[in-house]
Amino acid sequence: MQELRDQETIGEVWAQTVRRHRQNAFIAVPANKDRHYLPDGYEITYGDADRHIGKICDAFTKAGFGPGHRVALLLENQPEHFLYRLALNVLGVSCVPINPDYRPAEIAYLLEHSEPELVLAVASRAAQLKEGLAASGHRPPVRFVGDDEPLPPPRTPRRSLAVTPTSESCILYTSGTTGRPKGCIISHGYEVAMGERYITIGEPAQIATGDRIYNPLPLYHLNSGVVSLMGAILSGSCQVQPDRFHPERWWREVAETRASVVHYLGVVIQMLMLQPPSAADRQHRVRFGFGAGVEPQLHAAFEARFGFPLVEVWGMTEFCRVLATAGAPDRKVGTRAFGYSRPGLEAKVVDDADRDVPDGTPGELVVRHSAATPRRGAFSGYLKNPEETEKGWRGGWWHTGDTVYRAADGMLHFVDRKKNIIRRSGENIAAAEVEALLLTHPNVAQAAVLAVKDEVREEEVLACIVLKAGTGDRATAEDIFRFANERLAYYKPPGWIYFTRELPTTGTQKIQKHTIFPGIADPRTVPGMIDLRHLKRRDR
């Protein structure tokens, strides 16, 4: 059993890597003439990055920032995110990344809940941020990258505390079942432990010094913003960071940046398989892919076409020292296998009463470090919500909300999500959040939001709606969509709307979602279902 590396701070491991690998590449940005920043690409070494980080540290120290403070970051996937994030963590300041797709009300909630002392943003987000601040009860000052004016001092003095492995490094917001996103408190030690697990996960997914990790996922997520980043730092490797996933540019960017590792989601694999075959399919240096959600029928076909293995993993913001198929004698290609229990990262499957279920029986996945120290290597808790934290840890195991089964050989296989969460293109969407918003529409009497299958994006949002007046038609559906789209990130509004006279309820008036479409395997085929997926577009 490998000792868990969670007794160091981010600043300590950064300093160690700079001493050892000063000349190694740290961050690379692929060239992209259509991008509004760094169109010719960019690359920086650990040594040069350290000099930039030192200057940022000096500016924030002079302004009075330190332990006990938070700074919100609206920096997209630009390299400044890495530099400011690391500098602030070195000083003991916690970072709060903001999803660039958030609407003003969502930004307002995040600012009110996390109470940062400052918002640091790229200038291209000025109008969006202004609207969010106007809707917020907490309005910290704003500085844009490249501003020459001095930083404003924080409202409260910094705490005279040393930065330790248990110090807060960031607050990451994740969708929950109760509506509003929950703020996960992440510590320095947890981040280091995640990075260590990532680089030692086992063959064929072993990270070596000098690897180049192409990760197109957003930096406000744990995957790119913590897991691969900390793995790169711990191993002296380079993170290759495009602005986002572009299927038509993927192989060109992977080849030009000499990537040896790629990160994916299920939708990435599907989109790449839809691209016409070409010589570029094999003109790369990729040794393996690291991700989750590949459709079983595509797994072997992808590996055969592109020439490298896909290592399936499981993780969540609350507990992300990932379970993985790497290191196993058989990766179970063509199944939904994602890993197995091991010492220091224990997992089992339980029923609703938390009793172990037999192999082959679906139940909820629960995880822990060990019986003696169950919470070691996990998140620190939900911000301002200790009740939900303790609820998740009942019985000494973290309850993931995922339905899985364990095969006779110990391999765990994903079945479905137990929680009322919709998974669309890697984004978790809380049905309760969408329902709450829809109910504020002047003509919506009731709303039930469900997940439906989507052949490209894994799942899509379906809203079943009872109107206060009138009959539901396409014009009404589009009006409701526009209402939601103005207030929610573009991926959250319903891609399908179904109008009904009533929704089935219990004696206590709780909507019984499972009986809305009884006996119908695919609700999308129901007469009267309105397809609005073409309206779901990024507009910023």
Distant-in-sequence, close-in-space partners of 373: CB < 8 Å, separation ≥ 6: none
Question: How far is it, in rounded angstroms, from Cα 81 to Cα 95?
Answer: 10
Q: Which residue has the higher pLDDT, 461 or 3?
A: 461
Which token pair is 140? 């910290």
pLDDT of amino acid 532: 97
Backbone angles phi, psi at 419, to 5 degrees: -70, 160
Whether residue 231 has pLDDT greater than 60: yes
CA proximity to 93, closest of 195, 188, 224, 223? 188
Mean of pLDDT values over 17-26: 98
Per-residue exposure over 361-370, b if at least 16 CB sit within 10 Å of its own CB, e if not: eebbbbbbbb
Query: Which SS3 state, helix, strand or coil, does residue 97 take?
Result: strand
Sorting pLDDT into bands at 50, 70 and 90, what band is 161?
A: confident
Question: Three-state SS across 297-361?
Answer: HHHHHHHHHHCCCEEEEEEECCEEEEEECCCCCCCCCCCCEEEECECCEEEEEECCCCCECCCCC
Distance of alpha carbon 461 from the chain centroid:
18
Scan for tokens 């963590």, then name that residue.
89
User: What confidence tier does 435 reach under pLDDT thresholds 50, 70, 90?
Assistant: confident
- The count of residues in the chain is 540
Q: What is the dihedral of CA 369, 373, 376, 380, to 10 degrees?
A: 120
Q: Is the pLDDT confidence value at 175 over 90?
A: no
Higher-pLDDT residue of 506, 26: 26
Residue 36 has pLDDT above 80, yes or no: yes
Residues 366-410 have pLDDT tens digits of 999 999 999 999 999 999 999 999 999 999 999 999 989 999 999
Beta bridge partners of 402: 417
Instruction: Check residue 508 and give its pLDDT.
Output: 46
How many whole angstroms from its chain centre is CA 41?
A: 25
What pLDDT was estimated at residue 177? 52
Beta bridge partners of 429: 422
* More confident call, 175 vs 149: 149
Residue type, 35: R
Residue 510 has pLDDT above 70, yes or no: no
Residue 271: which pLDDT band, with cuts at 50, 70 and 90?
confident
Domain ranges (residues) in the chain: 10-154+162-326, 341-419, 421-535
Could you give the percent of the chain with pLDDT greater than 90?
81
341-419 to CATH, choices 2.30.38.10, 2.60.120.10, 1.10.1040.10, 3.30.2130.10 = 2.30.38.10
CATH fourth-level superfamily of 10-154+162-326: ANL, N-terminal domain (3.40.50.12780)
pLDDT grade for 17, boundaries at 50, 70 and 90? very high
Distance CA 311, CA 149 (A): 47
Give the pLDDT mean for 155-173. Answer: 94
Query: How would residue 2 be classed by pLDDT, with cut points 50, 70 and 90?
Result: low
pLDDT above 70: residue 478: yes
pLDDT, tens digit, for every residue of 220-229? 999 999 999 9
Task: Give the model confidence (pLDDT) of 297-328 as tens digits.
Answer: 899 999 999 999 999 999 999 999 899 999 88
The CATH classification number of 421-535 equals: 3.30.300.30
Question: In the prediction, which pLDDT does 374 show?
Answer: 97
The whole-angstrom separation of Cα 324 and Cα 321 is: 9
pLDDT at 1 over 70: no
Burial environment of residue 467 by CB neighbours within 10 A (0 to 12, 13 to 18, 19 or more): middle
Burial class (CB in 10 A: 0-12, 13-18, 19+), 285: middle
465 pLDDT above the threshold of 60: yes
Span 334-354, mean pLDDT?
94
Angstrom distance (rounded) from CA 420 to CA 401: 9
β-pairing, 261-265 with 288-292?
A: parallel
pLDDT of residue 489 exceeding 60, the answer is: yes
- Give me the mean pLDDT over the 197-210 stretch: 94
Phi, psi of 123, deg, nearest 5: -60, -30
Give the burial class of 309: count Cβ atoms within 10 A of its Cβ; 0-12 exposed, 13-18 middle, 19 or more buried. buried
